[in-house]
Structure 1
Amino acid sequence: MTDLVTLAELGSPLAVIGGAAYARHASPAAYWSTVGLPLSVARLLASYSSTMDACGLAVEPSRWRALAVRATTRREVRPVPPRRGIIRPTSTGLRMRLRLVPGQEPADVAASAERLRHAWGVHAVHVRDVKPGVVELRLVGFDVLRKVRMPRRSGSRPLEVPVALREDATAFVRDYRTVPHELVLGATLSGKSMYLRNLVTGLASQPVVLVGIDCKRGVELAPFAPRLSALATDPDQAAELLPVLVKEMEDRYDLIKTRQGIKPGTAEELITSDIWGLPEDERPAPLVLVIDEIAELFMVATRKEEERRDEMVTQLIRLAQLGRAAGIYLEVCGQRFGAELGKGATMLRAQLTGRVCHRVNDEASAKMALGDIAPEAVQASCAIAPELPGLAVVGDTSGGWSRIRTPYLSLADAAATCRATAHLAPDVPALNPFRPFVPPLPGAEPDSVATASPVTE
């Protein structure tokens, strides 16, 4: 009996420790909620002042404060750390706001993020500027990019699609009205197709015209055919489709100019410079053009193909330069996109505001994506490991960048979503000749999309 009691006394703590270690590896979110969160809060509360002092974030108190402390407490006057707000636990970490002391700036706190991470025992510390004199610290308790779980509250407005998770546990939202055009680069098996799959699936549930150009014979975009209003599967079809899109853009500009030509004295809110200022019953549906393997449009072998290439590149540049006001947006994907593709490649890339760089085969490809907007992000994109598909570095023309990872979405689920939302595709008569042929499912009644004619040669 005594041996059993002794075994229980020794085995219970060992079982608890072993279970915690297993949970930390197998279910980091559960471990954080039960063990990591209380420990990190205790460390933060116990060592806040000393940690801020060690990181150089505490300053000497004012003369009046020093005199008041000596007169009332007769103790040593210590440096004053930034005032800490309420600690708000989350499912992935902690959040709290700091009111900076005079003379500090957010960059001072950001420079000490790595020290704060080690001092408080968390996976990462991210700093965000809230307003003048106030920053928010977002402490992440574990590696949220190892197993991606999108936040529940990532509600989107029209043309906003949450497609990935940032390393600070917030959703990366693709917002076309803020960043109208985007370039997505990535080597084979880097996760570029998964990013595109999540993006198209997110747009499928919105009243958006989806147009695809997939010169790999349609193997990437063909599963989404029920939801696509037009699909070109080779450069010849793309050469026929692009002029139609340019004509659609010009027609939309004529519609905007008609609204601008209204009589003097009309209220300012009725005068617009893009389709979003038009009345809802007159506004054309936004159009997103998805191009997979952009390099295939630049490849030429004969003089005739070179002339066709020049025409297509010119039309793409026009769409990129003028399409935003007409509600036409570009999503350009490829493995490499540089000046070596030919005339117009660099000019087209300059119009693509958003940049997403997955794992690439060389540093030059990373520089093509991020070097002109966020040079420090180039090395981060080159360090992406092959065993982490879907991990990418995203940046924009503001110079900011962060790591993201796309959640897994099977091709069957994505195709099923596009088939279920096929009725949401807006009607654009000019694109009807390019509507992809969709064979009906076995045992299903053919619908208008399924019986549409194939792309004309």
Structure 2
Amino acid sequence: MAPDLWLIVLAVASVAALVLKWRRPAWYWLTFGIAFAVLRVLIRYTTVMDACQLTVPAPRWRIWLARMFKWQIPRQRAPKILRVRPTRTGLRLRLKMRPGQDAFEFSAAADRLRHSFAVQQVVSREVRPSVVELTMTGYDVLKRVQMPAAVPDRDLLKVPVALCEDGTIHLRDYRAVPHSLNLGATQSGKSVYQRQLIKELAAQPVALVGIDCKQGVELAPMSRRFSALADNPDDALGLLEALVDRMNGIYQLIRAEQRISADVPDAEITADIWGLPETLRPVPVVLTIDEVAELALFASKADEKRRDRIITALVRLVQLGRAAGIYVDIYGQRFGSELGNGITMLRAQLTGRSSHRVNDESSAKMAFGDISPHAVFATTQIPKERPGTAVVGDSTGGWIRIRTPHTSLRSAVNACNKHAHLTPDLPELAAFRPVLPAAKPVEVPAPAAPAEAPAAV
């Protein structure tokens, strides 16, 4: 091939790479980015590890031999690379640590590794003793969220909600994390997160229950899939107390079916609904509370008594509801002690924590102040230009950024209407079943009469 033709091909490839990197970063990563990133990591690896202070001295016997025979002093030893595996969004670099190293050192150096290897994000986790895995994200996956068509880990009460910054799927697993708190300012994407969650749950055999004290403007459009819905504090109190009564009844059912005797194996003794036979197992209930502050505010003595009863019922549900198959998602802009007695006790029971963009640091501390100060700082850095971006943490101190795909109210309503036949009837909550207008029958025009045949002549 002529030299001029080689230059033309190289120029075209360079332009194509730049266009893909600008317009389609995922395609750029799969075509060019993986090769460049692997070469960059392998070439710079030893220098980067040394600069990030992730190396250890050579063994003493090697240093002793070098000094005795006047050899060159051995260099610092970097962790051994066990595997480099490209992924759809980045690289996974598995390393074997040298003696004396700790997994926390790699977590602390994650930001320096990100700059050194020129990648978007680096997350470190310990796979097993002496082995860590660095998950590198090649491009900003949260800039344009694209959820995969198939999610293999989807299960009952385990639904995909958002995309994580490392390219994985954030799953809301109610059986592992039964209750959650979601904070966020106006226009932060909190409602989109809620719609996505309800849209995914609508296709599952669960009962959806909602409390929306904004006169139901958020949840009422999806009410065909809700077994119960309250749109004011008075109805919310009755609904919560009815859920407590349902919980107590389920506990009586579990007690009756435990069959604790000498001839029953331990594996068959249960303390929650998931150990009951399917024919007796109650339908799990997911309670969604929008703008929880409306339930805690009061302006008179009568409102204060109602508020205390509401908070008491909520505390009982989040403390005892998991075994009875009752799960609670609470949404709000603020959730601090200024809302009155019992709020901090309620917050302590909410294991799952997520926060979208907030207006001040104190709001972020309400979600993550007792979990991780790093998550608090990350929450305050969420830009306004990226609605739907949130920080998700748990009681172990771990946290990660996520972003929910844009879910319109129309798409959530369509999903709820499509699966309206799955809505279970709960006798305890029958008084709060949404009253919906009957579907109007479609008038089909009568077929036109056939034209008469012309008379024979």
Instruction: Specify the SS of the correspondent of 1:225.
Output: helix
Partner of 1:87: 84
**2-side partners of 1:441 and 1:405: how far apart?**
37
Alignment-mate amino acid for residue 314 of structure 2: L
Give the aligned residue type for 1:140: T
Shift, 1:64, TM fit: 5.3
CA distance in 2, matches of 1:65, 1:424: 71
Q: How far apart are the structure 2 equivalents of 1:51 and 1:383?
A: 27
- Answer yes or no: is the 8 Å Cα contact 1:70–1:77 preserved in 2: no
Give 1:455's aligned residue: none
Equivalent residue runs for 1:58-207 within 5 Å: 58-63=55-60, 77-151=74-148, 152-207=150-205
In structure 1, what is the Cα distance between the partners aligned to 2:49 and 2:357?
A: 37
Equivalent position of 2:268 in the other structure: 270
Letter in 2 for 1:52: M
CA apart distance, 1:107: 1.0
Q: CA deviation at 1:7?
A: 9.7
2: CA distance between counterparts of 1:413 and 1:69? Answer: 71
Query: In the alignment, does 2:261 pair up with 1:230?
Result: no
Which of 414, 417, 433 does residue 415 from structure 2 map onto?
Answer: 417
The corresponding residue for 2:433 is 435
Give the alignment's TM-score, normalised by structure 2.
0.90
Q: Aligned equivalents of 1:328 and 1:170: distance in 2?
A: 28
1:306 maps to 304
Residues 125-134 or 263-272, more deviating: 263-272
Equivalent in the alignment of 1:453: none
Instruction: Please report the TM-score for the alignment, with normalisation by the length of structure 1.
Output: 0.90
| Deviation, structure 1 residue 331 | 0.4
Cα distance in 1, alignment partners of residues 7 and 99 from structure 2: 54
Preserved contact between residue 273 and residue 325 of structure 1 (Cα < 8 Å): yes
Alignment of 1:18-57 (within 5 A): 18-57=15-54
Structure 2 contact 151–160 (Cα < 8 Å) conserved: no
SS at match of 1:229: strand
Cα distance in 1 between the residues matched to 2:78 and 2:307: 62
Once the two structures are TM-superposed, the CA of residue 287 in structure 1 deviates from its matched residue by 0.9
Distance 1:196 1:140 in 2: 27
- 1:345 match: 343
Q: Is the alpha carbon distance of 1:26 and 1:439 closer, same or farther for their aligned partners in structure 2, counting shifts above 3 Å?
A: farther
For the residues of structure 2 that align with 1:154 and 1:186, how far apart are their CA atoms? 30
**Which structure: larger Rg?**
2
What is residue 237 of structure 2 aligned with on the other side?
Answer: 239
Matching residue's letter, 2:336: G
User: For 1:259 and 1:9, how far apart are their aligned partners in 2?
Assistant: 78
Percent identity (aligned): 52
Q: CA deviation at 1:10?
A: 7.0
Label 1:69 to 1:175 Cα distance change in 2 as closer, same or farther (>3 A). farther
Alignment of 1:281 onto 2:279:
yes
The CA RMSD measured in Å over matched residues stands at 2.5
Separation in structure 2 between the aligned mates of residue 149 and residue 351 of structure 1, nearest angstrom: 33
Alpha-carbon distance between aligned partners in 2 of 1:325 and 1:227, rounded to the nearest angstrom: 24
2:63/2:73 contact within 8 Å kept = no
Is 2:119–2:138's contact at 8 Å kept on the other side of the alignment? yes
The aligned runs of 1:296-445 (5 Å cut-off) are 296-439=294-437
Measured after TM superposition, the shift of residue 123 of structure 1 is: 1.2
Cα drift, residue 50 of structure 1: 2.5
Q: Give the 4+ runs in structure 1 shifted more than 4 A.
A: 5-15, 63-71, 440-445
Residue 292 of structure 1 deviates from its aligned partner by 0.3
**Matched residue type, 1:41:** V
What displacement does 1:69 show? 9.6
Could you tell me how far apart the structure 2 residues matched to 1:25 and 1:357 are? Answer: 30
Single out whichever of 228-237 and 145-154 deviates more from structure 2.
145-154
CA distance, structure 2, for counterparts of residue 415 and residue 55 of structure 1: 51
Give ranges in structure 2 of 5+ residues lacking alignment.
Answer: 444-457
Deviation at 1:359, TM superposition (A): 0.8
CA spacing shift, 1:20–1:442, aligned 2, 3 Å? farther
Seen in structure 2, the aligned counterparts of structure 1 residues 304 and 266 have a Cα distance that, compared at 3 Å, is same
Q: Is the 8 Å Cα contact of residues 154 and 171 (structure 1) preserved in structure 2?
A: no
**In the aligned structure 2, how far is the partner of 1:233 from the partner of 1:160?**
27
How many pairs are equivalent?
Answer: 440
The SS at the match of 2:91 is strand
Question: In terms of mean alpha carbon deviation, does 233-242 or 418-427 score higher?
Answer: 418-427
Q: What is the distance in 1 between the residues matched to 2:98 and 2:6?
A: 51
Q: Which sits farther off after the overlay, 216-225 or 15-24? A: 15-24
| SS at 2:277 equivalent | coil
Is contact 2:83–2:95 with CA below 8 Å preserved after alignment?
no
State the alpha-carbon separation in 2 of the partners of residues 6 and 282 from structure 1.
78
* Range moving further from structure 2, 390-399 or 342-351: 342-351
What is the one-letter code of the residue matched to 2:182? Answer: V
One-letter amino acid of the structure 1 residue matched with residue 363 of structure 2: S
Deviation of 1:146 (Å): 0.8
Does the Cα contact within 8 Å between 2:293 and 2:339 map onto a contact in 1? yes
In structure 2, how many angstroms separate the alpha carbons of the residues matched to 1:326 and 1:429?
A: 16
User: In the alignment, is the contact (CA less than 8 A) between 2:318 and 2:327 conserved in 1?
Assistant: yes
Contact 1:61 1:79 (C-alpha < 8 Å) held by counterparts: yes
Q: Secondary structure at the match of 1:300?
A: coil
Give structure 1 stretches of 5+ with no counterpart.
446-457
Paired with 1:427 and 1:262, the residues of 2 have a C-alpha distance of 31
Compared CA separation, residues 255 and 444, structure 1 to 2 (3 A): farther
Secondary structure of the residue aligned to 1:86 is: strand
1:189 Cα deviation from its structure 2 partner: 0.6
